[in-house]
Amino acid sequence: MRLVSLIFILSTLLCIAPSVIAKNAQVAIIIDDIGYRKSDAGVLTLPGAITFAILPHTPFGKTLAQQAYRNNNEIILHIPMEAENGKKLGPGALTVQMNEQSIRHELALAFAEIPFAVGMNNHMGSKLTKLYSPMMWTMRFLKERNLIFIDSVTTSKTQAESVAIEIGVPTTHRKIFLDNELTATYIEKQFMQLIEHAQKSKSVVAIAHPHPETIAALNRLIPLLAELNIDLVSVSKLIVPLKDLSELAAISED
């Protein structure tokens, strides 16, 4: 679909003309699950301030993180956390059986591998992020190192963001997944929702994955953001200042 057509569709959805669409909205796009496949290198073709979430201790994770970092992309770690469905977690995972010492050990190893990472988000985690103590131990570690946390929101019962706020870790959360279905039509639809959310709330975090279909679609769609006066920024740019975090405690429960 051509960019002009996409702009027209968005304008129709918002019931306003393209010339009066609000300016200065900001979008962060995180690419998760980077590290297991050589083809993940395709994400390096994406334009703009994409944030890369690297799985720890994976065959290609460290190399791709270094390449993206040299390209001035922001890097976070994509830490596996135990899920309700029992899926295999991979190396560096945090589980419900771990105590604080074990969680800190795994996090320390992950950040030692990629020391320029500015923080982390959760890979899976529908079971672990519901539990207060593991989230508190995780946030204490991040607080000590001045790192950020992005809640991927893999369960509506997540406590991760609220605990981050309590501990004083700079945080925000994912609003939309772009590629739960790997078709151009679906990814386009989700991207349009991303834009609509950005225009309404002025900032929004989206997550996608290094699938060839996603990379092709985003290379085509990302230029639309500039057409609509939306800034693509690193996810840390959308983090609320620490002095304002206490005001968001209630909101983070929504």
Any idea which residue has 């349009």 for tokens? Answer: 192
Picking from 190, 160, 159, the residue whose alpha carbon sits closest to that of residue 175 is: 190
- What would the two tokens of residue 15 be? 């019931």
Residue 8 lies in a domain: no
Question: Cα separation of 96 and 112, whole Å?
Answer: 23
- Domain with 97 in it: 20-240
Q: At residue 228, what is the residue type?
A: L
Q: Say how many domains are in the chain.
A: 1
Question: Cα separation of 177 and 29, whole Å?
Answer: 10
Return the percentage of the chain with pLDDT > 70, whole number: 85
Helices (H), the chain: 3-14, 61-70, 100-113, 132-144, 160-167, 184-201, 212-221, 223-227
For 77-125, the three-class secondary structure string (H helix, E strand, C coil) is EEEEECCCCCCCCCCCCECCCCCHHHHHHHHHHHHHHCCCCCEEEEEEC
CATH code of the domain in which 194 resides: 3.20.20.370
Residue 81 lies in a domain: yes
pLDDT 10s digits, 189-210:
999 999 999 999 999 999 999 9
Question: pTM for the complete prediction?
Answer: 0.87
Residue 247 lies in a domain: no
CA 98 to centroid of chain Cα atoms: 25
Return the percentage of the chain with pLDDT > 90, whole number: 83
pLDDT 10s digits, 132-191:
999 999 999 999 999 999 999 999 999 999 999 999 999 999 999 999 999 999 999 999
Question: Cα separation of 153 and 159, whole Å?
Answer: 9
**Whether residue 20 has pLDDT greater than 80:** no
**Whether residue 3 has pLDDT greater than 80:** no
Residue 3 lies in a domain: no
Residue 235 lies in a domain: yes
Residue 6 lies in a domain: no
Residue 87 lies in a domain: yes
Which helix (H) or strand (E) segment is 150 a member of? strand 148-151
Residue 250 lies in a domain: no
Rounded to the nearest integer, the mean pLDDT of the chain is 90
